[in-house]
Chains A and B, each alone.
Chain A
């Protein structure tokens, strides 16, 4: 149990998707103009992450890993399909994103029109694919740890994008050198936020 909470806290603050691994930067920079839309996108990302990473974990555990196919027949003990992981993971992610898109369109049309183009783009959001690949690389022991990792990374991403959006709403009224306006200053703000997040390094429950 303690391990699970530890992974949760760690993936929010220390191994934050944006500040430590730069994942999901494209939509992070593009959608963070106002707090409201970034909140919507952030929640969509949390949702998609929390579903896809555990599914990919099961796929990895029972199909892709070396010797994972033993449950079918003992003669498959030395079959290693892990080179297929990219293509299978991305297929699962694309399918789930399609489902989430249809779900949001049905439940909240206003949020749907607000997210616009960025909803289908979650499929190619590096944070989602990255979380699946990290899950595979770090070899979590059981599905509880994977779920806490995926929820934590999603919430960390949500936190980061809301923080940036709030700062950008303020920065709009500041005097910034013209060439630095927009993209340039956003990068530097993110860098400073990342330095702030570095202060969490070493926290352990």
Chain B
């Protein structure tokens, strides 16, 4: 039980997929200009990681190791097609906003990385928990970056104005740079900095 709990807890901080394992950065940054697409993206990735982790782990003894990459890609892309069709049907506007990045979950390194490193060698239940943990770890970073970028860049959260009008009258201006791609990179850099200064053992030599 303690082990299972660790599987969920570790990826949140000590083994965070983005800040420590450096996986899945590609899509993490592009969808975070606003909070809403960031949350939808985080949920989609979590669903895909969990489902494909479980399926691969169920099939792990029957997949020949030489062609495992192709098999994994097929499983993952099936899951992504399901998620994509679901998003198109129920949250069409967000799905438009995410554009190609839903499809790019297939090549998201978190999914492949966890399949290779964990699901191929473990039973379905731990794989399920590992998927949930890594999905949540990814979500944490996405939500922090999305929160900061939308708040400072557009003065709103989840599409609602949160910075009162009187601030703008007093001379407050939205930081347009925050909506640019460059700031996402710098924000993640700063998150890594803070994270590592709190966990000294993660520092690189």
Residues of A within 8 A of B (CB): 19-26, 29-30, 83-87, 90-91, 94, 120, 123-126, 128-130, 133-134, 137, 177-188, 190-192, 194-195, 198
What mask results when residues 162 to 205 of chain B are scored 1 for a CB within 8 Å of chain A, else 0? 00000000000000000011111110111011111100101111
Contact A29 to B107, CB < 8 A, known contacts A21-B30, A86-B77: no
Cα distance A205–B109 when bound, in Å? 37
The residue in chain B whose Cβ has the minimal distance to the Cβ of A22 is B29
Contact call B182/A25, Cβ cutoff below 8 A: no
Point out the residue from B70, B85, B200 that lies within 8 Å of A83, measured CB to CB: B85
In the complex, residue of chain A having the shortest beta-carbon distance to the beta carbon of B100: A133
Neighbouring A residues of B186 by C-beta, 8 Å:
187-188, 191-192
Q: Which of B19-27, B57-65, B122-130 contacts A (4 or more CB under 8 A)?
A: B19-27
| Cross-chain pairs A/B with CB under 8 angstroms, 5 sampled | A26-B26, A120-B69, A129-B107, A180-B189, A180-B193
With both chains docked as a complex, state the minimum distance between the C-beta of B169 and any C-beta of chain A, in angstroms: 30
Closest A residue by C-beta to B177: A195
A20 to B185, CA, bound (A): 11
Minimum C-beta distance from B162 to chain A (A)? 25
Q: Pick the 7 closest A-B CB pairs, nearest first.
A: A187-B189, A182-B204, A191-B185, A179-B196, A191-B186, A194-B182, A133-B100
> Majority SS of interface residues in chain A?
helix
B21-51 contact mask (Cβ, 8 Å, vs A): 1 or 0? 0111111111000000000000000000000
B112 interface hit (Cβ, 8 Å): yes
Contact A179 B203 (CB under 8 A): yes
B77 touches A137 (CB 8 A): no
Interface residues of B (CB under 8 A from A): 19, 22-30, 69-70, 73-74, 77-78, 80-81, 84-85, 99-100, 103-104, 106-109, 112, 180-186, 188-190, 192-197, 200, 202-205
Which of A24, A91, A187, A192 lies in contact with B26, CB distance below 8 A? Answer: A24
Nearest-CB residue, chain B, relative to A16: B181
Chain A residue with minimal CB distance to B183? A191
* Chain B neighbourhood of A126, CB < 8 A: 26-27, 104, 107-108
Q: Is the CB of A22 within 8 A of B25?
A: yes
> With a CB–CB cut-off of 8 A, which chain A residues contact B196?
178-180, 184
